[in-house]
Amino acid sequence: MEAQLDELRTRFNELLDKVETGVDKEIEALRPKLKAMGEKLDELKHTSTEAWGDLKPGLERAWAELQESFHKAAARFKKSR
C-alpha cells in the first residue's frame, strides 16, 4: 500500500511539473504579444487622430491575438488539472 502511495505521489508530482512547464511556456509566448501591444499603444500616444485609423486595426489584431493566446493557455491549464 505504501509503495502504491509513493508511486501516486511521484506521478502526481511529475504531472504538476509538466503543467508548470506548460504554463511557463504559454506565459513566455504571451510576452512578445503583450510587448507588441504596448508598442502599438505607445505609437498611438504619439500620433494624431488621423493616424488612429491606421493604427486601430493593428492594435485590435494584437489585442485579439493576446486574448486568444491567454484563453488557450487557460484552457490547457484547466485540462491538465
Report the b/e string of 19-31 with b at 16+ CB within 10 A: eeeeeeebeeebe
Domain map (residue ranges) of the chain: 2-80
pTM of the model: 0.45
Q: What distance in Å separates the CA atoms of residue 55 and residue 76, rounded to the nearest whole number?
A: 32
pLDDT averaged per 10 residues, the chain (length 81): 84 80 81 85 75 80 86 77 61
pLDDT at 79 (0 to 100): 72
pLDDT at 13 (0 to 100): 83
CB–CB of 58/41 below 8 Å?
A: no
pLDDT at 41 (0 to 100): 80
pLDDT at 1 (0 to 100): 82
